[in-house]
Amino acid sequence: MADDKEREELVVAEYHRKIKEAFEVFDHEANNTVDVREIGTIIRSLGCCPSEGELHDLIAEVEEEEPTGYIRYEKFLPVMTEVLLERRYRPIPEDTLLRAFEVLDSSKRGFLTREELIKYMTEEGEPFSQEEMEEMLSAAVDPESNSIHYKDYIAMMVVDES
Amino acid sequence: MGCGTSSSTKDRKSEKALKAALVIQNWYRGYSARLKARQRYALTIFQSIEYADEQGQLQLSNFFSFMLENYTQIHEKDPELVARLFGRTLQDSKDRQEYVSFVDVPDSYNGPRLQFPLTFTDIDLLVEAFKQQQILHAHYVLEVLFETKRVLKQMPNFTQVKTSPTKEITICGDLHGKLDDLFLIFYKNGLPSGSNSYIFNGDFVDRGKHSMEILMILFVSFLVYPNDLHLNRGNHEDFMMNLRYGFTKEILHKYKLHGKKILQILEDVYTWLPIGTIIDNEILVIHGGISESTDLNLLHRIERHKMKSVLMPPISIDEDQDTDLKKTKTGANVVPREGKTNESPSEQLPKHEWEQVIDILWSDPRGKRGCYPNTSRGGGCYFGPDITSKILNKFQLKMLIRSHECKPEGYEICHDGKVVTVFSASNYYEEGSNRGAYIKLCCDMTPRFFQYQVTRATCLRPLYQRVNTMESSAIRILKERMLSRKTDLIRAFQLQDRSKSGKLSMGQWAFSMENTLGLNLPWRSLSPHLVTTDKNGNINYMSTFQDIHIQKPVKEAQSTLIETLYRYRSDLQIIFNVIDSDHSGLISMEEFRAMWKLFNSHYSIHIEDFQVDELAERMDLNKDGSIDFNEFLKAFYVVHKLEKLNKSDANLL
């Protein structure tokens, strides 16, 4: 039992250092705070994939009572450690992602047109901002056919991440 | 009934689509965030290494003082060298005649020909010519430099500028030889003129490939509109910095015949650049920052041209001035300084004044309160919001605008809106690393920020490709850094690896890296790029060096020797260049040995003198008793096993 406890402490200690590293990179003024608009990026860079709604809730947990626009490290660390320990917001597996594209591609052509993707991403679910949409299109659209061959796209992104 | 079924099918269908969209959006946002984090990590690497390099400058400056105090041979045999190190001023009219009139412009020259006195046509002419990749003839360069010096001499240390509702002013930050950015600024904001004022806040040169062109455009614009084009000195307007960071090389390459003359005059011109600008009596524009002891009243009064270089701190001469006294006291011989009665002590700034200028050119704002030595750069300090308030209040100012630090968005506001950083070299570290920006100000109105990013056709690539480029570039220079400290790193790893297993925990490895390299980086996140890990998550620390090594110029040379020479090659280059006062590229074997001895003892390097001698001889660089030091240093380059060579050569030297 003592060994397990020790092991858990080690795991927590490593998580703490990982979180600290990720936080510090965005702490421009080196005063243990980051802009609240970068919290999503930090959390996701640690391997978690919360939805926008879940992110919203997380931010509410780490914000000051009177929101200042900044998140302090002291508040962020315990919340983020819990998230990592509980393995919350696990990333989407590749085949789930592929199936999602296939659902949208109702006629099973193997691709989505630019307009279709835009429509789904900006009107459904948790809509993309214009910037997000443009960013996704720039990498996903095959310039010759002007469509998104999602199977190739996913394969490319997966390689890039590893 | 038909309606009921079809609407429920529709519902199920749209619910499925909703879920699918959510999955894709969720995945994309995660991916995009990780891309941005990788971009940020790359930038952090670039920045830490850049500042660590600047810290090397401080060591170098200590070395020069050490060298002067101990290297009597140089004093006796080369008064030129001492003059350079102590600073000397060229006599104006005589030198001008000598330098300029003996440089002829051949008829075959089809580059831009300037007409003195200069007019706005000359500005246009230069801009167009430089767009065509033409080079301005040395004759005109020298004329412009002399004329600029003459006019700058009349300027006070701080230029006072007034804006009005009909006359805004534009403030640009570091350009660092990036001509495309200057063109972009002029394209968006117009050329300088009597109704379009500009302040260029230092660091016009070094790093980029077109420092000369930028300098010429800025100086010519200044000569045409001296009351509307304001130049502030940056920490790179310093001949010592140019030796390390590329401008000297650019000049000697573009101007093979007359480069040396240009360099000599340039040294002087830099010292006459104003320290800063004050807008409407309430906004201070300086290159770096402030410290808790910044005294503007003092800075208004100092003789700014005596500030030769950050690497030439005033040597405390007071004891030596009473040479006789000292001799009597100790009976020992003092380093003879009689040889240069018209140079020496009076040509230097008093120490406290020199420090004030260093603070202005080198300091950085930080969130932490108080004032601390700037350990990253090795010069100036870190100043907190309390210092900003204190100093601004003391001198009845409202805002500080500065540059000196690269910011991803081209600008950044901190200290409660009282400090603004503006940086105008986009893609500074690498394609896609950052935007550039400029500020437009007018009277009491809020400053407006304009951002841009120079794009070439290849730059319109998707984000993930740009991030990949940036990341590879950053990892590369980090690996080269690690390689230059290989021996120390291995020692640190082995110290922690008691069981000699060849493995360390993540924590142990990260600790060793940070401590040995002195770089505050996210080591855990970077580890996948740098080392291999086993299935238990432990690091095989020797994998740090597996795909990279320093090319040995001579097979038999010892690895530690090679590593040391590689590590200090930038410093050695500067030292050689300073000793080589006539810029011939050669120093005598004797000077080389003596200098190496000093270097050895000052930097506490444990390399036997005979080893370096042997190496130099083996490399067959002896040309009549002289060493071609550029060839010597070029021989030490890093081979990245997985990449082609040409790029690494270009980047290193």
- On the question of pLDDT at A93 being above 60, the answer is yes
The strand pair at B548-550 and B586-588 is best described as unpaired
Predicted pLDDT of residue B650 = 36
Interface pTM, i.e. ipTM? 0.93
Within an 8 Å CB–CB cutoff, is residue B25 touching chain A?
Answer: yes
Split at pLDDT 50, 70, 90, the class of B444 is confident
Predicted pLDDT of residue B328 = 31
- Residue pair B387/B148 in contact (Cβ under 8 Å)? The answer is no
Q: What is the pLDDT of residues B292-320, one digit of tens each?
A: 999 999 999 999 998 888 767 666 543 34
Q: Which residues of B are known to be catalytic?
A: 236
Our CA-based measurement puts residue A11 at a distance from the nearest CA of chain B, in whole angstroms, of 11
| Phi, psi (degrees; rounded to nearest 5) at B295 | -125, 100
According to the per-residue pLDDT averaged within each range, which of A1-15, A32-46, B40-54, B475-489 is highest?
A32-46
* Residue contact B20–A157, C-beta within 8 A: no
- On the question of pLDDT at B255 being above 60, the answer is yes
Our CA-based measurement puts residue A52 at a distance from the nearest CA of chain B, in whole angstroms, of 8
Within an 8 Å CB–CB cutoff, is residue B528 touching chain A?
Answer: no
* Residue contact B23–A124, C-beta within 8 A: no
Q: Which of A42, A72, A136, A154 to mutate to test the interface with B (most CBs of B within 10 A)?
A: A136
Our CA-based measurement puts residue B332 at a distance from the nearest CA of chain A, in whole angstroms, of 51
Identify whether B117 is preceded by a cis peptide bond (ω within 30 of 0). yes
Choice between B326 and B377, residue whose per-residue pLDDT is larger: B377
Give the C-alpha separation, B560 to B552, whole Å. 11
Mean pLDDT, rounded, for B443-454: 88
Mean pLDDT, rounded, for B76-94: 52
How far is residue B541 CA from its own chain's centroid?
32
Predicted pLDDT of residue B325 = 33
Predicted pLDDT of residue B561 = 72
Split at pLDDT 50, 70, 90, the class of B143 is very high
Mean pLDDT, rounded, of chain B:
81
- Which chain A residues are Cβ-neighbours of B16 within 8 angstroms? 103
Split at pLDDT 50, 70, 90, the class of B641 is low
Predicted pLDDT of residue B645 = 35
Cα separations in angstroms, A8 against A48, A85, A90: 20, 10, 20
Predicted pLDDT of residue A28 = 79
Mean pLDDT, rounded, for A109-136: 91
- Which chain B residues are Cβ-neighbours of A118 within 8 angstroms? none
Mean pLDDT, rounded, for B451-475: 79
Choice between B524 and B347, residue whose per-residue pLDDT is larger: B524
Sign of CA dihedral B383, B389, B391, B396: positive
Q: What is the pLDDT of residues B569-590, one digit of tens each?
A: 777 777 777 677 666 777 777 7
* Residue contact B21–A96, C-beta within 8 A: no
Looking at the partner chain, which of B22, B24, B464 has a beta carbon nearest the beta carbon of A139? B464
- On the question of pLDDT at B526 being above 60, the answer is yes
DSSP conformation class of B584 = -
- On the question of pLDDT at B155 being above 90, the answer is yes
> Could you tell me what percent of chain A has a pLDDT over 90?
50
Mean pLDDT, rounded, for A109-129: 91
- On the question of pLDDT at B342 being above 50, the answer is no
Predicted pLDDT of residue B57 = 64
- On the question of pLDDT at B77 being above 60, the answer is no
- Residue pair B274/B233 in contact (Cβ under 8 Å)? The answer is yes
Split at pLDDT 50, 70, 90, the class of A6 is confident
Within an 8 Å CB–CB cutoff, is residue A51 touching chain B?
Answer: yes
Q: What is the pTM of this model?
A: 0.75
Choice between B64 and B349, residue whose per-residue pLDDT is larger: B349
* Residue contact B37–A160, C-beta within 8 A: no
Within an 8 Å CB–CB cutoff, is residue B468 touching chain A?
Answer: yes
| Phi, psi (degrees; rounded to nearest 5) at B169 | -125, 145
- Residue pair A96/B23 in contact (Cβ under 8 Å)? The answer is yes
What three-state secondary structure class fits B620?
Answer: coil
Q: Which of B22, B25, B459 to mutate to test the interface with A (most CBs of A within 10 A)?
A: B25
Predicted pLDDT of residue B203 = 96
Choice between A83 and B316, residue whose per-residue pLDDT is larger: A83
According to the per-residue pLDDT averaged within each range, which of B31-45, B53-67, B341-355, B396-410 is highest?
B396-410
> Could you tell me what percent of chain B has a pLDDT over 90?
41
- On the question of pLDDT at B114 being above 70, the answer is yes
Lowest-pLDDT range, A33-37, B153-157, B398-402, B614-618? B614-618
Lowest-pLDDT range, B171-185, B462-476, B510-524? B462-476
- Which chain B residues are Cβ-neighbours of A136 within 8 angstroms? 28, 32
Instruction: Find the helix or strand (DSSP H, E) in which A61 lies.
Output: helix A52-62
Give the C-alpha separation, B137 to B156, whole Å. 31
Within an 8 Å CB–CB cutoff, is residue B44 touching chain A?
Answer: yes
- On the question of pLDDT at B646 being above 50, the answer is no
Three-class SS of A73-105: HHHHHHHHHHHHHCCCCCCCCHHHHHHHHHHHC
Give the C-alpha separation, A153 to B242, whole Å. 46
* Residue contact A96–B20, C-beta within 8 A: no
- On the question of pLDDT at B391 being above 60, the answer is yes
Q: What is the pLDDT of residues B210-228, one digit of tens each?
A: 999 999 999 999 999 999 9
- Across B469-503, b (16+ Cβ under 10 Å) vs e yields bbbebbbbbbbbbbbbbbeebbebbeeebeeeeeb
Q: What is the pLDDT of residues A24-75, one digit of tens each?
A: 989 877 788 898 999 999 999 998 999 999 999 999 999 988 888 889 999 9
Split at pLDDT 50, 70, 90, the class of B647 is very low
Cβ contacts below 8 Å, chain A against chain B, sum to 134
Nearest to B242 by CA among B222, B258, B214, B266: B266
According to the per-residue pLDDT averaged within each range, which of B210-219, B554-563, B622-631 is highest?
B210-219
- Which chain A residues are Cβ-neighbours of B41 within 8 angstroms? 25
- On the question of pLDDT at B170 being above 90, the answer is yes
Mean pLDDT, rounded, for B486-510: 90
- Residue pair B439/B171 in contact (Cβ under 8 Å)? The answer is yes
Query: Which residues 390-449 of B have a C-beta within 8 angstroms of A?
Result: 412, 414
Split at pLDDT 50, 70, 90, the class of B652 is very low
Split at pLDDT 50, 70, 90, the class of B454 is confident
Within an 8 Å CB–CB cutoff, is residue A135 touching chain B?
Answer: yes
- Which chain B residues are Cβ-neighbours of A18 within 8 angstroms? 524-525
Predicted pLDDT of residue B443 = 81
Nearest to A14 by CA among A6, B530, A28: A6
- On the question of pLDDT at B467 being above 80, the answer is yes
Give the C-alpha separation, B529 to B565, whole Å. 26
Lowest-pLDDT range, A54-68, B322-336, B524-538? B322-336
